């Protein structure tokens, strides 16, 4: 079955202090994004959609094609690659005022702008995260159970959704706090997801600070890293979620609408959100000081022949 992968690459990387999406961090100048592209090709995704900012629209596609077109051709792959600009004016409601905002509206809006181009049941992921190939594999296998009806059928099937959860201890940075969606799971289904914007390890303890309240978290917590999957009939519900969000937004508002809100909306409607569990270690460069550790992990993966050198070689 065909499946699409939406890669969210429009973020500004304010804590990192630069463009994490294309930072040459691997031993041969690979970005973390290059490893995701390699894994998606090896696993058999049929469409890659990169959500980018307008400022990236000239250089970013050229860099992707320069590195990957030859490998795709030599390997006989029929992967379709598309680029979508996350235009802040592409919203499902007439704004009360002109926002004039550069900062993206968040991950839910990033998925929304793909509605006219995504062709199959799809996964989403962040461009600047390393998820591990086995995590993408279990996601792809689950997408193959989703309804394959086209998006524009008159009678749409019920929205289907899933997410991959990681042990919280496999997702923390040693150099500062991180934002994670804490997941409550019962019998393989998500019952609640709650955004915790400031989680960090303090010696042997994991602490979350929300609304000036400090909470201790257990090592057994399971968290979302934005590796989620949906069938095409999710878009009407996403549209209603964004309409409600934008009806509340005021000029100069820095709010964002996050994709976990879509999962929570499905749960509130009594719909099933399947949970897929991985034991992979996530890693990424949330902070500049994370870079050396990520470089060491990538070198180790190459030394174990998990990836070719460079990674875009077939």
- Which pLDDT belongs to residue 21? 67
Range of the domain at 70: 4-150+157-303
What residues contact residue 202 under an 8 Å CB cut-off, 6+ apart?
none
Inside any domain, residue 295: yes
Inside any domain, residue 309: no
Inside any domain, residue 55: yes
β 205-210/4-8 pair status:
unpaired
CB neighbours of residue 158 within 10 Å: 12
Question: How many domains does the structure of the chain reveal?
Answer: 1
d(CA 174, CA 184) in angstroms, rounded, equals: 25
- Which pLDDT belongs to residue 78? 86
Instruction: Output the CA–CA distances (angstroms, integers) from residue 297 to 165, 178, 231, 290, in the order listed.
Output: 21, 19, 34, 11
Q: What are phi and psi of 305, to 5 degrees?
A: 60, 30
- Which pLDDT belongs to residue 149? 60
> 222 forms bridges with which residues in the sheet?
167, 183
- Which pLDDT belongs to residue 156? 53
- Which pLDDT belongs to residue 16? 39
d(CA 72, CA 124) in angstroms, rounded, equals: 21
**Alpha helices by DSSP H, 155-255:** 235-248
Inside any domain, residue 8: yes
pLDDT in tens, 241-260: 999 998 888 777 788 899 99
Instruction: Output the CA–CA distances (angstroms, integers) from residue 1 to 16, 46, 119, in the order listed.
Output: 37, 9, 12
- Which pLDDT belongs to residue 23? 84
- Full-model pTM: 0.92
Inside any domain, residue 136: yes
Nearest Cα neighbor of 233 from 145, 153, 151 is 151
- Which pLDDT belongs to residue 96? 58
Q: What are phi and psi of 243, to 5 degrees?
A: -60, -45
Q: Round to the nearest angstrom and report the end-to-end CA distance of the chain.
A: 23
Q: Residues in the chain with pLDDT < 70?
A: 12-21, 95-100, 149-157, 314
> What's the CATH number where 213 sits?
3.90.550.10
Tell me which DSSP letter residue 101 carries.
Answer: -
Inside any domain, residue 308: no
Q: How many residues does the chain have?
A: 314
Inside any domain, residue 313: no
d(CA 290, CA 252) in angstroms, rounded, equals: 32
d(CA 223, CA 131) in angstroms, rounded, equals: 13
Inside any domain, residue 310: no
């Amino acid at each position: 079955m065909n499946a699409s992968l939406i890669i969210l690459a429009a973020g500004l990387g304010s804590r990192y202090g630069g463009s994490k999406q294309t930072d040459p961090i691997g031993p041969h100048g690979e970005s973390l994004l290059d490893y995701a592209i390699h894994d998606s090709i090896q696993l058999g995704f049929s469409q890659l959609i990169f959500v980018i900012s307008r400022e990236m629209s000239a250089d970013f596609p050229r860099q992707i094609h320069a590195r990957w077109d030859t490998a795709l051709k030599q390997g006989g792959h029929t992967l379709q690659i598309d680029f979508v600009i996350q235009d802040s004016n592409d919203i499902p409601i007439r704004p009360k005022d002109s926002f004039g905002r550069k900062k993206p509206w968040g991950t839910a809006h990033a998925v929304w702008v793909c509605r006219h181009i995504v062709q199959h049941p799809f996964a989403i992921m962040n461009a600047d995260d390393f998820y591990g190939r086995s995590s993408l594999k279990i996601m792809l296998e689950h997408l193959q159970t989703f309804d394959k009806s086209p998006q524009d059928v008159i009678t749409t099937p019920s929205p289907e959704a899933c997410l991959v959860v990681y042990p919280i201890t496999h997702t923390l940075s040693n150099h500062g706090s991180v934002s994670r969606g804490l997941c409550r799971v019962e019998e393989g289904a998500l019952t609640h997801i709650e955004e915790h914007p400031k989680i960090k390890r303090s010696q042997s303890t994991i602490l979350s600070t929300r609304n000036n309240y400090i909470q201790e978290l257990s090592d057994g917590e399971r968290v979302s890293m934005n590796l989620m999957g949906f069938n095409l009939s999710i878009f009407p519900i996403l549209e209603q979620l964004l309409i409600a969000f934008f009806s509340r937004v005021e000029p100069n508002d820095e709010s964002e609408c996050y994709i976990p809100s879509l999962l929570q909306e499905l749960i509130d409607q009594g719909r099933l959100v399947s949970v897929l569990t991985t034991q992979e270690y996530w890693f990424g460069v949330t902070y500049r000081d994370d870079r050396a550790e990520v470089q060491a992990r990538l070198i180790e993966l190459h030394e174990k022949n998990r990836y070719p050198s460079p990674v875009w070689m077939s």
